[in-house]
Amino acid sequence: MLAHGRRWFVLALGLAAAASAGCKKDAPPPAQEEASAPAPAPAAEFSVSSIEVGRGIGSDKRIATPVTTFKPKDTIYVSVATEGAAASKTIAARWTFEDGQVVKEGRETIAPTGPAATEFHIAKPSGWPAGKYKVEISVDGAPAGSKDFEVK
């Protein structure tokens, strides 16, 4: 008999729960909640924010101490800082010596989601000839800036 009483109790409890669930007022439609929430900020348009040259680069691919004069056996770094987001951008560096003679060209494809830095470098163990140099940066083939530097 005790088991029979438990069954009735469990059945009554289940019916009460079902009845109270059916009496609940409907929650406000989700559209009303979304309308009051602020819209996400649009992604900033991609752009080059700075170009720096130096003798060393940090783990963040940024120049710690920018310089424009180098020794012949220095490794010369350029850091291209960018802002904004893009599915794909190709950053190219073209290094030239005095009369436009190409020293080196390189390119990196990136997919930034915010501020980023891209690094390029040149090295010549036998030493760079003294003179004036330039590194020109382009993004997807369009000029984005340049930096002049000198080897003494």
Instruction: Give the tens place of pLDDT for each residue, 54-104.
Output: 999 999 999 989 999 999 999 999 999 999 999 999 999 999 999 899 999
Instruction: Give the tens place of pLDDT for each residue, 7-57.
Output: 555 555 554 555 555 555 555 555 554 555 565 556 678 999 999 999 999
For 77, other C-beta atoms within 10 Å of its C-beta total 22
For the entire predicted model, the pTM comes to: 0.72
Token pair recorded at residue 50? 């700075």
Would you say domain 47-151 falls under CATH 2.10.109.10? no
For 105, other C-beta atoms within 10 Å of its C-beta total 12
For the chain, the structural domain boundaries read 47-151
